Amino acid sequence: MGEEVTQNQTMATEFILLGLSSDPETQLILFLVFLPIYLLTLAGNILIMVTIFYDRHLHTPMYFFLTNLSFIDVCHSSVTVPKMLADFLSTEKTISFGGCVAQMFFLHLFTCTEVFILTVMAYDRYVAICKPMHYLTIMNHKVCLLLAGAVWLGGTIHSLSLTSMTINLPYCGSREIDNFFCDVPPIIRLACTDTYVIEVLIVSNSGLISVVCFVVLVGSYGVILVSLRNRISTGRRKALSTCAAHLTVVTLFLGHCIFIYSRPSTSFSEDKVVSVFFTAITPLLNPIIYTLRNEDMKRALCKLVGRKVDEEEK
């Protein structure tokens, strides 16, 4: 069951996700923990998008990219968390080969796109703080759309390349994936062929993108911090708050990517902990970080809530 015979080999048509725990009581506790986290992730990121859409004062390049980030976070968490929640309540934690491929594709699509979006947001803050007189000229509407398009195109190309390499491998051994979702490193460990070349390509692709973007991001914020030394205290405080929020998100998100994809396909005991933080927790932290540390967002949220209350009273 879950296998088919092709050319004297037994090829897997579905995989078994071992998940975070095999104990029923622990799984129930995990379900009760991660369900509200997922719902809050959806609510928080959707609220950010709605707030930015309704408040014309937030129709700026920074919030345009923040809208993209929130949309990506909703999609990113939805790729893995619903399946994880369903498996907590299920005795058979299987996923079809096609479902596994789809999960890998969309996971890497949204992950890589988020890395690029964070990089573009750092560039946007660099222009806004270091070249304020030319900001609206440099980051005009057309440029923002082109950057957003390039970001999504880059994520798609990256995901297609990794997924195509993975699905072409023969899988005729174990069907057990030691994780709660399908990802390239644990999947290629199940291949019944030498995967050294693909492992090197993963490190040079995903790992290199993560490391390079992290270096670029830290370097750009370093330049920004140096340029803030001569600013007046009010403007400097606001800029520092924005940069601190961005750096927090960057460190949390890219830390996982570097840890998982910048090494050969070897399994560590910390992989599951890092992965669950990456897929379930980080998308929730983004709306918290960008709203609680952002006065403009807090004012816009208050206006939006006040508008809804007035409409209900009428």
| pLDDT per position as a tens digit, 167-213 | 888 887 678 888 888 888 888 888 888 777 777 777 777 777 888 88
Query: Total domain count for the chain?
Result: 1
In a domain, 262, yes or no: yes
**pLDDT digits over 225-259, tens only?**
777 776 656 556 666 766 777 777 777 777 777 77
Q: How confident is the model at residue 1, as a pLDDT?
A: 39
Per residue in 297-314, pLDDT (tens digit) is 878 878 877 765 445 545
The CATH number covering residue 114 comes to 1.20.1070.10
Q: Per the domain annotation, does 314 fall within a domain?
A: no
pLDDT tens digits for 113-128? 998 998 898 889 888 8
Q: Is residue 308 part of a domain?
A: no
Residue 6: its pLDDT value, please? 44
3-state SS, one letter per residue, for the chain: CCEEEECCEEEECEEEECCCCCCHHHHHHHHHHHHHHHHHHHHHHHHHHHHHHHCHHHCCHHHHHHHHHHHHHHHHHHHHHHHHHHHHCCCCCEEEHHHHHHHHHHHHHHHHHHHHHHHHHHHHHHHHHHCHHHHHHHCCHHHHHHHHHHHHHHHHHHHHHHHHHHHCCCCCCCCEECCCCCCHHHHHCCCCCCCHHHHHHHHHHHHHHHHHHHHHHHHHHHHHHHHHHHCCHHHHHHHHHHHHHHHHHHHHHHHHHHHHHCCCCCCCCCHHHHHHHHHHHHHHHHHHHHHHCCHHHHHHHHHHHHHHHHHHHC
Range of the domain at 183: 3-300
For residue 75, being part of any structural domain is answered with yes
Predicted TM-score of the model (pTM)? 0.84
Q: Is residue 313 part of a domain?
A: no
Asked if residue 310 belongs to a domain, the reply is no
| 305, part of any domain | no
- Is 190 part of a structural domain of the chain? yes
